[in-house]
């Protein structure tokens, strides 16, 4: 079971963080996912797409956490690493500004579109995998993604035009 979860633990964390907005709560969610995977290890062997199942469990547990208590939202920028350590201060500031604008634009989307664009464009899941994770139909995933990208394109081009 570790072979299933360990390679995707960072994806699980990012997805949980995206939903709950708080690092500690996201870590709790991932820990609960690991417990659930351990408890369901026999049943998990029968599941065809184990990664999608883990992402679905993560989504459900994160949403449960949000329903149970009000969480203090943590800024996603606090958990982003800049891959180029040789980046100039000017370039770093420019990158931070761009990320902030993109993050704000995504946060203004409806929740379903936020989830779909995160799963597709950040995590790299296929349409079918997103449908499996979210419970939306394949067509609905495509519609949400298309609408989200159009909205983001309009918002971002109006800012940079």
Measured CA to CA, the distance from residue 109 to residue 97 in angstroms comes to 19
CA 151 to chain centre: 19
Predicted model pTM? 0.62
134-137 own/partner pairs: CB under 8 Å, 24+ apart = 134/56, 134/59, 135/56, 136/112
Q: Domains in the chain, please, with CATH? A: 1-79 (1.10.1740), 84-161 (1.10.10.10)
User: Which tokens sit at 49?
Assistant: 């797409």
pLDDT number for residue 82: 43
pLDDT number for residue 159: 76
Token pair 């547990």 in the structure block, residue: 61
Measured CA to CA, the distance from residue 112 to residue 118 in angstroms comes to 10
Question: 10 Å Cβ neighbour count for 157?
Answer: 9
**10-residue stretch averages of pLDDT, the chain, 161 residues long:** 78 91 91 89 85 91 80 47 56 72 88 92 89 92 94 84 61
> Is the distance from CB of 134 to CB of 119 less than 8 angstroms?
yes
Measured CA to CA, the distance from residue 107 to residue 92 in angstroms comes to 22
């Amino acid at each position: 079971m570790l072979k299933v979860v360990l390679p995707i633990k960072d994806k699980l964390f990012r997805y949980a963080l995206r939903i709950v907005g708080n690092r500690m709560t996201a870590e709790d969610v991932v820990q609960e996912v690991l417990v659930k995977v351990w408890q369901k290890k026999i049943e998990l062997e029968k599941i065809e797409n184990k990664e999608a199942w883990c992402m679905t469990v993560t989504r459900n547990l994160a949403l449960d956490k949000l329903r149970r208590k009000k969480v203090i939202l943590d800024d996603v920028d606090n958990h982003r690493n800049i891959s180029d350590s040789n980046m100039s201060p000017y370039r770093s500031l420019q990158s931070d500004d761009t990320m902030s604008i993109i993050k704000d634009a995504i946060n203004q989307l409806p929740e379903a579109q936020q989830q779909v664009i995160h799963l597709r464009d950040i995590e790299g899941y296929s349409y079918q995998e997103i449908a499996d994770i979210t419970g939306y139909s394949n067509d609905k995933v495509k519609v949400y993604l298309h609408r989200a990208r159009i909205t983001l394109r309009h918002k971002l081009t109006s800012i940079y035009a």
